[in-house]
Structure 1
């Protein structure tokens, strides 16, 4: 999913001493993704994650001079996952799960209006929101107890994406079989 590239770029560049560089990289990638995807005709509903990234990284880059040298900077990974959890959860609250537009790219149009299709995307978005929230909590605890445990931070960040991605792949296949059987 191209929408997560800004977050991955940030994670690769940001460290406790260079988090502002990560924020700038995330912002540049997010802006580029939005530009490319909009030029390709993608609707805003399909771009919830990269649009959210533009807002987050613009705020992070804007505030980075204020917090330079501040020990609280180590909370950057927590803020990223908390923001993503809020983005995914917010899309559920407004009744438009962020996975819905992405799923429409892959699913046949005959299933788009089925309640099961919407419900499946509620489940998928809820899994992503929960994974991001759990990662934020795990990172907060880890960084409080072991602020230099960068290997564990990376492991939690990877798991926070890999687990819901694997679930999405499995669940989408399961739902596709169900839709074909019920068609």
Structure 2
């Protein structure tokens, strides 16, 4: 699944962020995301299919610079929340500029004749909005949780897993539902 590959740096980062100093967690995220971008470009994947990967490289690059510049910053306690908020901004931003981030990924999985289909575009707008909403809810929940229960690791992990699992399941199911409806409609 292309989405799993796209989010791999974020997933690995979430796993190591609780184990490593935030500076080294940021470096792990940066190396993974930059490596993924390089690998995908060598595979000739188009730029528009790598929005999440590029966003990750920028986020982890900025985070690494900030973390090494100010290792004792209070921001280190909010990095998990900031990563979710960054993903939310990436997803919402892609909708605002009229280029849903899922569109480039979906184009890699369907025939080119479907790319201009309004239903294909609309489906990706809906899927991207679900991802954006999930990231937003996750960032708000994590911000609240970490403010009031900063050591609730199990709850943090649960929010992170749900923030990814719910939109993944939606992304798998929704196109099937759209296709089934389209096939039922008279021409």
Describe how 1:38-53 pairs up with structure 2 within 5 A.
Answer: 38-53=41-56
State the shift of 1:172 in Å.
1.6
> Structure 2: any 5+ residue segments left out of the alignment?
none
Q: Which residue of 2 aligns with 1:75?
A: 78
Q: Matches of 1:21 and 1:177 in 2, distance apart?
A: 47
> Structure 1: any 5+ residue segments left out of the alignment?
none
Between 68-77 and 126-135, report the one with greater CA deviation: 68-77
Q: Matches of 1:174 and 1:106 in 2, distance apart?
A: 17
State the shift of 1:16 in Å.
7.7
Q: Matches of 2:163 and 2:112 in 1, distance apart?
A: 30
> How many aligned residue pairs are there?
183
Q: Matches of 2:181 and 2:18 in 1, distance apart?
A: 44
TM-superposition CA deviations, 1:125-169 (whole Å, max 9, x none): 000000000000000000000011111111101100000001111
Equivalent of residue 28 in structure 2, options 21, 25, 28:
25
Q: Which residue of 2 aligns with 1:7?
A: 10
State the shift of 1:73 in Å.
1.2
Equivalent of residue 88 in structure 1, options 67, 87, 91:
91
State the shift of 1:17 in Å.
5.8
User: RMSD in angstroms over aligned alpha carbons?
Assistant: 1.6
* Partners of 1:16 and 1:73 within 8 A in 2: no
TM-superposition CA deviations, 1:79-123 (whole Å, max 9, x none): 000000000111111111000011112223332111111111000
Spell out structure 1 runs of 4+ moving beyond 4 A.
179-183
* Partners of 1:9 and 1:26 within 8 A in 2: yes
Q: Matches of 1:33 and 1:17 in 2, distance apart?
A: 21
State the shift of 1:71 in Å.
3.4
State the shift of 1:49 in Å.
0.3
Q: Matches of 2:89 and 2:74 in 1, distance apart?
A: 24
Q: Does 1:167 align with 2:179?
A: no
